[in-house]
């Protein structure tokens, strides 16, 4: 069975600070996808990134970066120079590639508050 653990529940930072959101996953599959989604107060889940299990390259997109380490089953997300608009709940999710169903297994989410 798959499992995603986001041990941090709430993080509060001051604007312009860097912040890292942790994600640890469990799966028996050798091929899988990892995702991060952002859920602002409006409720809609916004896709941020997808990472394939066979691609361990880290990725940077503007102020966002992701560190994927298969050895520790972690897929951490860093926001550099945080802004108030980054305040949201962030979910890490996992889907397996075997079978036809690519359902997502989510962690419980991390509530990030960025104070001006």
Cα-to-chain-centroid distance, residue 53: 14
Q: Does 107 bind other proteins (CB under 8 A)?
A: yes
Is residue 63 a contact residue for other proteins (CB under 8 A)? Answer: no
> Which among 110, 105, 40, 51 has a CA at the least distance from the CA of 75?
51
Containing 93, the helix (H) or strand (E) segment is strand 88-96
In the complex, the smallest distance separating the C-beta of residue 28 from other proteins, rounded to whole angstroms, is 18
Site for other proteins in 69-88 (CB under 8 A): none
11 scored as a contact of other proteins (CB under 8 A): no
50 near other proteins (CB under 8 A): yes
Helices (H) and strands (E) in the chain, counts: 0, 12
Q: For other proteins, give the closer residue by CB, 35 or 86.
A: 35
Chain centroid to Cα 10, Å, comes to: 14
Instruction: Tell me which of 1, 28, 41, 44 binds other proteins, using CB under 8 A.
Output: 44
Residue linked to tokens 């508050």: 113
Interface ranges with other proteins (CB under 8 A) = 4, 33, 35, 37, 42-47, 50, 52, 91, 93, 95, 100-109
């Amino acid at each position: 069975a798959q499992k995603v653990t986001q041990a941090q529940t709430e993080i509060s930072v001051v604007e312009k600070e860097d912040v890292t959101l942790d994600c640890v996953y469990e799966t028996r599959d050798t091929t899988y996808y990892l995702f991060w989604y952002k859920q602002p107060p409006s409720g809609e889940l916004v896709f941020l990134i997808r990472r394939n299990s066979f691609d361990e390259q880290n990725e940077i997109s503007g102020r966002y970066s992701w560190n994927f380490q298969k050895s520790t089953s972690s897929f951490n997300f860093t926001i550099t120079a945080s802004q108030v608009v980054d305040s949201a709940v962030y979910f890490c999710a996992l889907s397996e590639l075997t079978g036809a169903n690519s359902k997502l297994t989510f962690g419980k989410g991390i509530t990030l508050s960025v104070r001006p």
